[in-house]
Amino acid sequence: MSKNVLVLAEAKDGELRNVSFEVVAAGKKIAGEGSVKALLVGESVASFSEQLIQQGADEVLVAEHSDLKTYTTDAYKQVLLQVIESESPDALLIPHTSSGKDLAPRLAAKLSSGLVSDVVDIEEVGEEVIFTRPIYSGKAFEKKSVSSGLVFATVRPNNIPALEVDSSRSGETKDVSVDLKDLRTVIKDIVKKTSGKVDLAEAKVIVAGGRGVKSADGFKPLEELADILGGAVGASRGACDAEYCDYSLQIGQTGKVVTPELYIAVGISGAIQHLAGMSNSKVIVAINKDEEAPIFDVADYGLVGDLFDILPILTEEFKKVKAGA
Amino acid sequence: MNIFVVMKRTFDTEEKVEIKDGRVDEEGAEFVINPYDEYAIEEAIVLKEANDGEVTVVTVGDEEAEKELRTALAMGADKAVLLDTEDLDDEVDHYTISEMLAAYFKNQEFDIILGGNVAVDDGAGQVAPRLAELLDINQLTTITKLDIDGTKATVERDVEGDVEVVETELPLLVTCQQGLNEPRYPSLPGIMKAKKKPLETLDLDDLDLDEDELEAKTKTVDRFLPPEKQAGKKLDGEPAEQVEELIKLLRTEAKVI
Ligand SMILES: Cc1cc2nc3c(=O)[nH]c(=O)nc-3n(C[C@H](O)[C@H](O)[C@H](O)COP(=O)(O)OP(=O)(O)OC[C@H]3O[C@@H](n4cnc5c(N)ncnc54)[C@H](O)[C@@H]3O)c2cc1C
């Protein structure tokens, strides 16, 4: 049992995303006696190398180019193909993020390879790597393997725990030169709406609002609570349809599927499409004035009452907790 | 303008999922057009109306999928194509489906192919990018705005909440994200007209494909339901009492704060 695993790390807003360490940890699970090499791609990313090594990478490959500053399909595909060609990995793991979802299937098609997407768990049974992934947005799960050739998967953030930081670890960092051509997408502008906010997919705590929140202004107290808890704000489709917030916050079968440690549902009824996106969260708290609301069927702790009464008190109490009272 | 939509028939999102003999039990379930593909169909019709052209909807599946193709025709698509999987093994995967689509598109002239960002059943989102690669065309995924001027496309993409504005040239494949548009419902005259619109079925022979070339590259070893979530505790009392109790439980029982 020994595999050479290549994993793609991902940086955002000048920091490595946590999922980078998670793919390294996932790689370790299947590498056995083999090694885990992490690939950093960007304009100026070499400085992240040490962190990856301290959290489990045996070697780091760095591909830097001014055309790699922002992800585009063509540029990243060319980098990955060149690195796959030179490293011939037995397994390739890519974060199941916006760019990973765009990139991985294209690579798989180019390599005529199988690909298991959106993996939440990995186990090794004999020589075979078995991946667990949600289907029907988490209403069910399946276990899959790649039949032959490259073991290839995308890994969902927030599911496979990263390894502890070990500052005594060392490893080589190697520059790879890349040759980019025929880039077909030109990036004109990026409108940042999420700066300084915790990414929903990676959030440990989510405070989600529904139609019960009543207005866009009604989301402000939710943001305050999320800030105090170091978490992110999410929403039901009801709230998005009513234009209280952006669709990018929507959680559910046609939105994001999330698995935070703590999910606080505020004024959300708990429609089956919403539950699909959040019911695998570790601990669920629901605040709803309707005792019969289906959200209570999945909530660990239910607070029946008016959210406008409960939320301010809850926020104050959490503030005290965080202040160490 | 030659506009194509790749679409999938999926479980209605209202459906509970049951597993029977290692498979998802489809008995009695309602099926719909994958909700993300509805955005693709709507956008295709809007493009056709603005640019003069023809919309063809394509799906890979069995004859049951004719119902969803007819719905797309009733919304306003002009032609439908079913790539029939009847001759195939049970286990097909994204490799199989995208190879079948690519075989079909290799004989078509297309300016743009639209698809959903992901299918709500399988949730992998592999087929559209795979298809773009097999056809060697550019792709833009999770789009929320599309403008086409001649052969130039200006697109807004949802990138985890940020908006990326990009430009590229046709031919192009895009996958559609919520927020792009409001899909129309089929009108009664639309439904009547749809019955007479062409729906073509192509099998592996028609596509010049061999069963062996299409063998899935992955295999499913198990399917299962997550442990059923138990309803927890409802906390009693005035808001302040409920909150106090909650904080205590989150600390001592759930240990998340
Ligand atoms: C194809 C399809 C896909 C869908 N995908 C999704 C999806 O991905 N995600 C999703 O969320 N939905 C989705 N839906 C929509 C879903 O069916 C529900 O309509 C939606 O989740 C309802 O949102 P809500 O809970 O905010 O609103 P409502 O169902 O209206 O619930 C509001 C809740 O707030 C409570 N409330 C009101 N006022 C107060 C107050 N003052 N204090 C406390 N509680 C209060 C009410 O008791 C009620 O339970 C989808 C639907 C379809 C058809």
> What are the pLDDT digits (tens) for A136-150?
989 999 999 999 999
Mark yes or no for CB contact B219/A291 under 8 Å. Answer: no
* pTM of the complete model beyond 0.90: yes
CA distance B180 to chain A (A): 10
Mark yes or no for CB contact A297/B229 under 8 Å. Answer: yes
CA distance B17 to A136: 8
Q: Which residues of A touch B166 (CB under 8 A)?
A: 185-188
Start-end of H helices in B106-201:
127-135, 188-194
| Mutation site, B33, B106, B126, B145, interface A, largest A CB count within 10 A | B126
Scan residues 214-243 of A and list those with Cβ closer than 8 Å to B: 229, 240
The overall longest dimension of chain B from CA atoms, in Å, is 71
The overall longest dimension of chain A from CA atoms, in Å, is 61
Mark yes or no for CB contact A321/B257 under 8 Å. Answer: yes
CA distance B38 to B178: 10
The overall average pLDDT reported for chain A is: 96
Q: Is A137 in the pocket of ligand 1 (CB under 6 A)?
A: no
C-alpha pair distances (Å), B138 with each of A8, A203, B61: 22, 32, 25
Residue B147: HSE in the Cβ half-sphere, 13 Å Cα cutoff: 6
How much is the average pLDDT of A230-259? 94
Evaluate if residue A324 carries a pLDDT over 90.
no
CA distance B101 to chain A (A): 12
Interface predicted TM-score (ipTM) over 0.90 = yes
In A98-251, at which residue ranges do the beta strands (DSSP E only) sit?
Answer: 116-119, 121-125, 128-135, 140-146, 151-155, 172-175, 186-191, 205-209, 232-235
CA distance B122 to chain A (A): 5
C-alpha pair distances (Å), A206 with each of A57, A100, A217, A231: 30, 23, 18, 5
Given a contact cutoff of 8 angstroms between Cβ atoms, the answer to whether A219 and A244 are in contact is yes
Nearest to B224 among A141, A249, A314 (CB): A141
How much is the average pLDDT of A289-305? 97
CA distance A103 to B153: 20
CA distance B193 to B205: 30
Q: Which residue would you say has higher pLDDT here, A105 or A126?
A: A105
Give the sign of the dihedral formed by CA B108, CA B110, CA B116, CA B117.
Answer: positive
How much is the average pLDDT of A243-247? 93
Given a contact cutoff of 8 angstroms between Cβ atoms, the answer to whether A197 and A231 are in contact is no
CA distance B27 to A195: 46
**Phi, psi for B11 (deg, rounded to 5):** -55, 140
**Which is it for strands B199-202 and B79-84: parallel, antiparallel or unpaired?**
parallel
Evaluate if residue A58 carries a pLDDT over 90.
yes
CA distance B35 to B7: 10
Amino acid identity at B128: A
Per-residue pLDDT of chain B (257 residues; tens, 9 = 90+): 999 999 999 999 999 999 999 999 999 999 999 999 999 999 999 999 999 899 999 999 999 999 999 999 999 999 999 999 998 977 899 999 999 999 999 999 999 999 999 999 999 999 999 999 999 999 999 999 999 999 999 999 999 889 999 999 999 999 999 999 999 999 999 999 999 999 999 999 999 999 999 999 999 999 999 988 888 999 989 999 999 999 999 999 999 98
Give the three-class secondary structure for A189.
Answer: strand
* Token pair belonging to B19: 């597993």
For position A325, what pLDDT does the model report?
58
How much is the average pLDDT of A290-296? 97
For position A168, what pLDDT does the model report?
97
Given a contact cutoff of 8 angstroms between Cβ atoms, the answer to whether A230 and A198 are in contact is yes
Say which DSSP state B158 is in: E
Closest alpha carbon within chain B to A149:
B217
Say which DSSP state A218 is in: G
- Closest residue CA from atom 30 of ligand 1: A211
Give the three-class secondary structure for B67.
Answer: helix
Closest alpha carbon within chain A to B102:
A109
CA distance B55 to chain A (A): 25
Give the three-class secondary structure for B215.
Answer: coil
Evaluate if residue A112 carries a pLDDT over 90.
yes
C-alpha pair distances (Å), B47 with each of A117, B5, B53, B147: 31, 12, 8, 9
Given a contact cutoff of 8 angstroms between Cβ atoms, the answer to whether B56 and B4 are in contact is yes
* Token pair belonging to A229: 């808890």
- Closest residue CA from atom 26 of ligand 1: A210
For position A63, what pLDDT does the model report?
98
Is A148 in the B-facing interface, judged by CB distances under 8 Å?
yes
CA distance A88 to A105: 18
CA distance B243 to A313: 7
CA distance B243 to B250: 10
Closest alpha carbon within chain A to B123:
A135
Given a contact cutoff of 8 angstroms between Cβ atoms, the answer to whether A233 and A222 are in contact is yes
Pick from A110-119, A193-202, A252-261, B152-161: least confident: A193-202
Q: Is A254 in the pocket of ligand 1 (CB under 6 A)?
A: yes
Given a contact cutoff of 8 angstroms between Cβ atoms, the answer to whether B20 and B54 are in contact is no
Ligand 1 geometric centre to CA of A202 (Å): 23
CA distance A94 to A100: 6
What percent of chain A is modeled with pLDDT above 90?
92
| Mutation site, A19, A120, A182, A313, interface B, largest B CB count within 10 A | A313
Bridge partners of A59, per DSSP, are A37, A172
Evaluate if residue A1 carries a pLDDT over 80.
no
Mark yes or no for CB contact B226/A140 under 8 Å. Answer: yes
CA distance B193 to chain A (A): 30
For chain B, domains (ranges, CATH) are 2-214 (3.40.50.620), 230-257 (no CATH)
- Closest residue CA from atom 15 of ligand 1: A237
In chain A, at which residue ranges do the beta strands (DSSP E only) sit?
Answer: 5-8, 11-12, 15-16, 36-42, 59-64, 91-95, 116-119, 121-125, 128-135, 140-146, 151-155, 172-175, 186-191, 205-209, 232-235, 262-266, 283-288, 301-304
**Phi, psi for B65 (deg, rounded to 5):** -70, -10
Ligand 1 geometric centre to CA of A86 (Å): 50
Q: Which residues of B touch A101 (CB under 8 A)?
A: 125, 141
